[in-house]
Amino acid sequence: MILAPYLTFWDLRLIPHHLASIFCKLSILLIFSNDIPRLIISHALPVCGFFQMSSLDGQLLSDPAEYRHLVASIQYLTFTRPDISFVVNHVAQFMSTPRSPHLVAAKHILRYLKGSLGFGLSFGRSHGPLTLCGFNTLFHTLHGFSDADWASCPDTRHSTTGFCVFLGPNIIFWSAKKQHTVSHSSAEAEYRSLAHVCADTTWISYLLHELAIPSSSPTLLLCDNLSTTYMAINPVFYARTKHIELDYHFIQERILSFSHRVHFVSSTG
């Protein structure tokens, strides 16, 4: 039920709702109506079975400009669609020499988007403490989820970092990007992801403090790797983590200052 007319600002549409305000992109309608008018609507997932693509798979595209225009348009949509950030980051890595499987993957994302045009960001009020993994947090407390796709790139075997940050019940920041170095284990890849979300939540907490919205409790960081959780809270593991020494010391400093705390969360239902 709409309570007020929608507002448009910088191609973002704000729709007041009785439960929350929903942000969605207007440009997505232009993409589908002008660029791909006959695209079949499909309720597919953003990722399909051929997701781990190589830069050498398939035939080179005769017109790479079409692929670059398409992927650039989809990248613009990630400002309000965190559900496609991971897969869009992957197809954007082939902009220099796109091939036919890369174009198929990009069109697969479009089929998912056209079947979910009503999706957007929802921002609502919290009427009490939130319960996350058994911990009660205040509505203005920061908490972040981190994950890593270990050695997912078939060309370089670099891992992919993914994380999202919430302020109370509302998502305010998210990212998916390839890590700069090769990780020797899944725990190392997960720890680098944890360091990324720890750094970003530290910056956000400073910003909130400047806006006179200080948090009365530590930022809660949640990851689905037990080894990473143990390394973050147990200094005995230091001798085994010298190859990620900077990330290790950074997270340890945040934990010892009581600005952050790390807990395990299962990624299986």
pLDDT at 160: 93
SS (H, E, C) the chain: CECCCCEEECCEEEEEECCEEEEEECHHHHHHHHHCCCCCCCCCCCCCCCCCCCCCCCCECCCHHHHHHHHHHHHHHCCCCHHHHHHHHHHHHHCCCCEHHHHHHHHHHHHHHHCCCCCCEEEECCCCCEEECCEEECCCCEEEEEEEECCCCCCCCCCEEEEEEEECCEEEEEEEEECCCCCCCHHHHHHHHHHHHHHHHHHHHHHHHHCCCCCCCCEEEEECCHHHHHHHHCHHHHHHCHHHHHHHHHHHHHHHCCCEEEEECCCCC
Q: How far apart are alpha carbons 213 and 217 in whole angstroms?
A: 12
163 pLDDT higher than 80? yes
Cα 35 to Cα 28, 46, 91, 268: the distances in Å are 10, 19, 18, 38
Q: What are the domain boundaries of the chain? A: 7-114, 127-264
Which tokens go with 200?
Answer: 């970003």
pLDDT at 100: 93
pTM exceeds 0.85: no
Q: How far apart are alpha carbons 251 and 257 in whole angstroms?
A: 10
15-41 pLDDT tens trace: 666 555 555 655 554 455 445 545 555
219 pLDDT higher than 70? yes
More confident residue, 24 or 115: 115
92 pLDDT higher than 90? yes
- Are 11 and 25 in contact, with CB atoms under 8 Å apart? yes
197 pLDDT higher than 90? yes
Mean of pLDDT over the chain: 79
More confident residue, 39 or 207: 207
Q: Is the domain covering 127-264 a CATH 3.40.50.720 domain?
A: no
pLDDT at 124: 75
Weakest mean pLDDT among 45-54, 98-107, 129-138, 180-189:
129-138
